[in-house]
């Protein structure tokens, strides 16, 4: 369905010309982005011609898919007003700003929290459905540079005046902050054991909306405010991580940007580095290895002399992942060596942050294996995967499943088809117990690699075992 505008949409025509996209090309891109979100769209070059020459405005998610398709070609976010579609159902660029002012930072974060609620009320995926495919790694450039320049605000104390609402202002204390930290700890355990799940109905976005937002909008001293911003940053990063794990890349990006801004208000440089490392992993996963390197190195740069040895080890490990995805074996090897060195220098008595509790030598070995998988070095993959799988634990189920798939790939590349299928069956069993789009994608990649052996009985058996997993709704 479309509705009529007055006159041609010259803005859309101009941007299409700038991007070098034909009418047929745009239609194809929009249909493909819709399919990625379970939408069946049948736009063609005639549809696009009507949008441009007659000013027709497509309904539903289509305007946002158009913006996303053009943005992918241009390599930057494209707002609706730039293509003359700002009058479509609004999907504001909430969460992409990194304000310099603390008050504006609070507004930006709390608007994002409320947007999640609006999305769930709208049904059928809500706002995130309409933002389908709008991830743009370039959106991380400004947040990272501003954080590097000024990683801490001078003061975050907040007073609420009568103009901001009726009644007495909510006075925030350390006990309120502690509740948020406990919620973050519970969420971390849940995520590791069961995967991101349906993050839109999980406890984290709800906690951000119901608990964190009113506190951020309340009154607090500088001391309490720093702690509040830190706890809120942890929860916001977790919301981003869960969105990332379930394939909602556009939502994850917005949560990560706001988490970094809140970490700056908290004056928590290691936490800011952790958010940047999460951004780096997302960029690397999406195929932007060079940008992943930049984000990981931004985390490292500001934390020299501040973060613990274990924290620095994790940041170097994330850097290694990005170098490997970019195909730089020498840089990846150097980063891995540095990560291992920092880890060896860490001690149990170090004041490591609570959010780093997942990181041990097992995790180092698992990520090292993935580095060597990207560098096509199966012998090294097998060596590190064996170490990573030596201590399976029920606490980190998703991680165990990912390691099994990486092990299967290594066995396959070493010519051991039976061993690859055996590990693949184990991985499918684990993947069936959790809700993680990332784990499912790993399984799909393994099955793709096994296609040349499609008639082998073990491969047929693995494919059949994986069928329910691959047919499950996203």
Q: Structural domains in the chain?
A: 2-83 (1.10.260), 99-122+140-157+171-267 (no CATH), 360-474 (1.25.40)
> What percentage of the chain has pLDDT greater than the value 90?
58
Supply the angle between the helices 309-325 and 329-345 in degrees, to the nearest 10.
Answer: 170
pTM equals 0.78
Q: For residue 438, count CB atoms less than 10 angstroms from its CB and return exposed for 0-12, middle for 13-18, buried for 19 or more.
A: middle
Q: What local confidence, expressed as pLDDT, does residue 166 receive?
A: 46
Structure-token match 């396959």, residue found: 412
Q: What local confidence, expressed as pLDDT, does residue 127 receive?
A: 52
pLDDT (average), residues 450-466: 91
Residue 393 has pLDDT above 80, yes or no: no
3 forms beta bridges with: 57
Half-sphere exposure of 203 toward its Cβ, with a 13 Å CA cutoff? 11
Buried b (16+ CB within 10 A) or exposed e, 109-131: bbebbebbbebbeeeebbbbbbb
pLDDT greater at residue 58 or residue 287: 287
Reported confidence tier of residue 359, pLDDT bands at 50, 70, 90: very high
Q: What local confidence, expressed as pLDDT, does residue 392 receive?
A: 61
pLDDT greater at residue 37 or residue 463: 463
Residue 123 has pLDDT above 70, yes or no: no
Q: What local confidence, expressed as pLDDT, does residue 348 receive?
A: 87
Residue 142 has pLDDT above 80, yes or no: yes
pLDDT greater at residue 165 or residue 48: 48
Reported confidence tier of residue 438, pLDDT bands at 50, 70, 90: confident
Reported confidence tier of residue 58, pLDDT bands at 50, 70, 90: confident
pLDDT (average), residues 5-23: 88
pLDDT (average), residues 157-170: 66
Residue 201 has pLDDT above 50, yes or no: no
Q: What local confidence, expressed as pLDDT, does residue 232 receive?
A: 98
pLDDT (average), residues 469-473: 71
Reported confidence tier of residue 1, pLDDT bands at 50, 70, 90: very low
Question: Among candidates 253, 250, 277, 265, which has minimal Cα distance to 99?
Answer: 265
Residue 367 has pLDDT above 90, yes or no: yes
Question: Among candidates 266, 333, 265, which has minimal Cα distance to 103?
Answer: 265
Residue 61 has pLDDT above 60, yes or no: yes
The mean pLDDT value of the chain amounts to: 86
Q: What local confidence, expressed as pLDDT, does residue 157 receive?
A: 96
Q: What local confidence, expressed as pLDDT, does residue 133 receive?
A: 47
Residue 245 has pLDDT above 50, yes or no: yes
pLDDT greater at residue 161 or residue 341: 341
Lowest mean pLDDT among 69-83, 144-158, 247-261: 69-83
Question: Among candidates 251, 161, 275, which has minimal Cα distance to 199?
Answer: 251
Residue 91 has pLDDT above 90, yes or no: no
pLDDT (average), residues 437-442: 86
pLDDT (average), residues 439-468: 91
On whether the CB atoms of residues 242 and 199 are closer than 8 A, the answer is yes
Structure-token match 């809700």, residue found: 435
Residue 364 has pLDDT above 90, yes or no: yes
């Amino acid at each position: 369905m479309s509705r009529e505008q007055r006159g041609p949409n010259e803005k859309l025509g101009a941007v299409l010309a700038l991007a070098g996209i034909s009418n047929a090309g745009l239609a194809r891109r929009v249909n493909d982005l819709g399919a990625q979100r379970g939408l069946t769209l049948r736009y063609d070059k005639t549809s696009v011609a009507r949008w441009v020459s007659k000013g027709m405005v497509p309904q539903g998610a289509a305007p946002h898919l158009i913006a996303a398709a053009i943005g992918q070609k241009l390599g930057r976010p494209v707002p609706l007003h730039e293509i003359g579609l700002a009058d479509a159902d609004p999907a504001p660029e909430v969460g992409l700003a990194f304000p310099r002012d603390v008050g504006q930072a609070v507004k930006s974060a709390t608007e994002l929290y409320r947007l999640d609620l609006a999305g769930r009320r709208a049904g059928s995926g809500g706002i995130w459905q309409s933002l389908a495919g709008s991830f743009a790694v370039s959106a991380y450039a400004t947040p990272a540079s501003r954080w590097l320049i000024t990683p801490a605000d001078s003061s975050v104390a907040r007073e609420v005046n009568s103009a901001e609402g009726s009644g007495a202002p909510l006075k925030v204390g350390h006990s309120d902050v502690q509740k948020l930290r406990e919620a973050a700890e519970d969420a971390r355990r849940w995520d590791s054991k069961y995967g991101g799940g349906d993050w839109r109905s999980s406890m984290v976005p709800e906690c951000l909306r119901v608990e964190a937002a009113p506190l951020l909008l309340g009154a607090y001293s500088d001391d309490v405010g720093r702690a509040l911003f830190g706890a809120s940053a942890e929860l916001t990063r977790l919301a981003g991580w869960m969105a990332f794990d379930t394939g909602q890349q556009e939502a994850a990006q917005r949560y990560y940007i706001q988490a970094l801004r809140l970490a700056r208000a908290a004056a928590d440089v290691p936490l800011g580095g952790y958010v940047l490392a999460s951004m780096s992993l997302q960029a690397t996963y999406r195929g932007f290895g060079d940008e992943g390197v930049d984000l990981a190195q931004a985390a490292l740069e500001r934390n020299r002399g501040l973060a613990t040895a274990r924290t620095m080890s994790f940041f170097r490990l994330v850097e290694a992942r990005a170098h490997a995805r970019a195909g730089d074996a020498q840089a990846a090897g150097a980063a891995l060596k540095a990560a291992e060195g920092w880890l060896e220098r860490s001690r149990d008595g170090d004041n490591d942050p609570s959010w780093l509790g997942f990181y041990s030598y097992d995790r180092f070995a698992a990520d090292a294996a993935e580095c060597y998988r990207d560098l096509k070095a199966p012998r090294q993959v097998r060596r590190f995967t064996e170490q990573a799988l030596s201590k399976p634990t029920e606490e980190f189920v998703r991680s165990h499943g990912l390691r099994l798939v990486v092990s299967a790939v290594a066995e396959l590349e070493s010519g051991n088809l039976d061993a690859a299928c055996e590990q693949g069956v184990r991985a499918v069993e684990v993947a069936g117990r959790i809700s993680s789009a990332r784990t499912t994608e790993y399984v799909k990649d393994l099955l793709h690699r096994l296609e040349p052996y499609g008639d082998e009985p073990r491969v047929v058996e693995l494919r059949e075992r994986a069928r329910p997993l691959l047919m499950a709704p996203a």
